[in-house]
Amino acid sequence: MEGARQIECYTIDDIYNLPDGQRAELIDGELFMMATPGRMHQRILMELSFKIRDYIGRKNGECEVYPAPFAVFLNADDKIYLEPDISVICDKDKLIDEGCKGAPDWIIEIVSPSSRSMDYNKKLFKYRTADVREYWIVDPMNLRVTVYNFEHDMFEEYSFSDKVKAGIYEDLEIDFSGVNIE
């Protein structure tokens, strides 16, 4: 069709060829540039990562916790590359030097103004269809935690004053009233 715009299809090679310090994610060949996360985002990321890692360590668990930047290759093709804020991987066969090949068991995304649409829409669909077991969207602007337990086809919403139970573990609860967002 004359005048139609040709959409460029990017690959993982394009991610690796970005200038130093520039980060992006790739979904179905479309490149999405990532903004540098703010201080509150990083504080929440560190607190949640520590709480999960501490729990796994106390239980002598097999799963591993990786905060961003950590590459997740959901598909076998070169058209998807994501860097979830927190990835929990229990199948060590999925771990490669470059990141995780396949779906992590649990993913947490911390919403920032520039990631809202990606976290609530594109990533939700991709994680669900890739067999991620559980996906949390932590939204500090709205003081809300949305939990998708894909294994049991459940969806729940919590506030930052609630204790949120992790579905992939029997007895892990994260008390969000103790998560410092100041």
pLDDT in tens, 103-126: 999 999 999 988 999 999 999 999
- Give pTM, 2 decimals: 0.93
The C-alpha atoms of residue 113 and residue 124 are separated, in whole angstroms, by 17
Q: What is the structure's pLDDT at 3?
A: 54
Q: What is the structure's pLDDT at 1?
A: 46
For the chain, give the number of residues.
Answer: 182
Contact call for residues 99 and 80 (beta carbons, < 8 A):
no
The C-alpha atoms of residue 107 and residue 86 are separated, in whole angstroms, by 6
Q: What is the structure's pLDDT at 138?
A: 97
Q: In the predicted model, is pLDDT for residue 26 greater than 50? A: yes
Contacts of 62 (CB under 8 A, 6+ apart): 90, 92
Lookup: tokens for 15: 């991610």
The C-alpha atoms of residue 172 and residue 165 are separated, in whole angstroms, by 6
Percent pLDDT > 90 in the chain is 86
Paired residues of 33 in beta bridges = 24
Q: In the predicted model, is pLDDT for residue 179 greater than 90? A: no
Q: Where are the alpha helices (DSSP H) in 2-122?
A: 12-16, 39-58, 116-117
Q: In the predicted model, is pLDDT for residue 2 greater than 60? A: no
